[in-house]
Each structure stands twice: as C-alpha cells, then as structure tokens.
C-alpha cells in the first residue's frame, strides 16, 4: 500500500455537526429499510480504526478520529455483514478541491475493515463522487455512494446511487466487531 497523507475534512462547527447528524439519521432510515434487523451505531468512536504509518498494521483504539465511520450497521441483529458509512454532507469544507475529497474517501474506506463501505454525500456532489473509481486494489469490493438530499421542511432523504460491492474482511475483525457489540449499546435496532 502506498504511503499517502489523508486530507482531513474541516468539521466540528455546530452547523456541520447538525448536518452530519441529520444525514446520519437519513442513512440509518435507509439501512433500516435495506438490511434485515440491523444494529446501528452513530459515531462509533470506541471502534475507531487507524493505520500505523510505519507498518500499516490495523488496530481498533478508543480514539476520536475523522477516520471513523459516522454510521456503522451490523446486519441480521448483529450476526451479519458489517456496513461502514462516512458522511460528507452539504458543501465541501476543508478540501482544496473535489479531487482531494475523492482521495480522502479512497484512503479512509480502503483502510476500514467492513464488508460494505459507503460514502454519503450531498446531492450537489454525488455525480462527481459516483464517477470515481472506488474499487479495492485486489478487485474484491467497491465503495458505494449514498446521496443525501436536503429538504428544508422535512428530514433529509438518503438513497443509494451506487451499490457497494462486498470487501474481504479477515476473521479477526469479525471477532473485534462481536466484542464491540457486547460492550456498546446500539443507537438503533429493530425490536422484535
């Protein structure tokens, strides 16, 4: 894997936090309809994934990071596929141009272990992001694109523009997700 420095988005403003929260709710609604009894986590910081710049080893640490997904869903009541979604709502702030944003998306989602990976973007840039080659280097997996459409009088809507394709996930990561679930209450789940 080549060494590349990721460009960090400038989030943290109150308006940005509200946009991300509203978009996360829209994504959760989409996942509740698409998946079978998903367990959903918002901002799962205890599961933050990072990449060691020297050895490129992966680990989960209790860190606050822009590299963590905004939404994490585990299908089939926590026994199924893992879906990671990173949200870039509204106008892009903190990126010199859209090419840098595409680079950040590729780096972030190429390093987080999950079966399905998505980026959720505002409708004004979904066409640009959809045209990027967001495939895994080995061909096993493609990052999907979710479009967030803002509505001033109703909740935002989320729709899949490009369906994600399944990534490889090593068994050790499934065990880590299982342990995470045991220790972390879900933010949303289907009650039976």
| Tens of pLDDT, residue by residue, the chain (192 residues) | 333 233 333 344 565 688 888 999 999 999 999 999 999 999 886 554 444 433 333 344 333 455 678 899 999 998 999 999 988 765 555 455 677 777 777 776 667 889 999 989 888 777 777 777 788 888 899 989 999 998 889 999 999 999 999 999 999 888 888 888 888 889 998 776
Question: Hey, what's the torsion of the CAs at 77, 191, 112, 71, to 10 degrees?
Answer: 170
CA 23 to CA 134: how far, in whole Å? 21
From CA 13, how far away is CA 20, in angstroms rounded?
10
Which three-class secondary structure state does DSSP give residue 159?
strand
Q: What is the DSSP letter of 153?
A: T
CA gap 13, 192 in Å, rounded: 38
The region, left, alpha or beta by phi > 0 then psi within -120 to 50, assigned to residue 33 is alpha
Is position 20 within any domain? Answer: no
**Residue 22 resides in a domain:** no
Say how many domains are in the chain: 1
Residue 165 in domain: yes
**Residue 113 to residue 50: CA distance in whole angstroms:** 10
Domain assignment of residue 46, yes or no: yes
In this structure, is residue 30 part of a structural domain? no
In a domain, 131, yes or no: yes
In a domain, 83, yes or no: yes
pLDDT at 44: 80
Assess contact for 19 and 114: CB atoms under 8 A.
Answer: no
Q: Which residue range(s) make up the domain with 80?
A: 38-184
Listed residue (58, 44, 27, 59) closest to 158, CA to CA: 27
The pTM (predicted TM-score) of the whole model is 0.79
């Amino acid at each position: 894997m080549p060494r590349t420095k990721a460009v960090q988005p400038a989030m943290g403003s109150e308006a940005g936090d509200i946009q991300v929260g509203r978009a996360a709710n829209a994504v959760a609604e989409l996942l509740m309809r698409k998946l079978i009894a998903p367990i959903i986590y918002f901002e799962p910081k205890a599961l933050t994934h990072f990449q060691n710049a020297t050895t490129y080893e992966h680990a989960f640490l209790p860190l606050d990071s822009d590299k963590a997904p905004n939404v994490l869903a585990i299908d089939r009541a926590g026994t199924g596929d893992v879906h990671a979604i990173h949200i870039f709502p509204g106008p892009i702030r903190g990126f010199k141009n859209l090419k840098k944003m595409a680079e950040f998306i590729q780096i972030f989602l190429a390093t987080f272990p999950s079966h399905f990976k998505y980026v959720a973007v505002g409708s004004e840039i979904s066409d640009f992001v959809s045209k990027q080659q967001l495939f895994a280097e080995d061909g096993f997996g493609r990052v999907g694109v979710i479009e967030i459409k803002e509505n001033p009088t109703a909740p935002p809507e989320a729709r899949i523009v490009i369906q994600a394709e399944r990534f490889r996930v090593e068994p050790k990561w499934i065990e880590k997700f299982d342990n995470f679930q045991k220790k972390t209450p879900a933010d949303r789940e289907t009650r039976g």
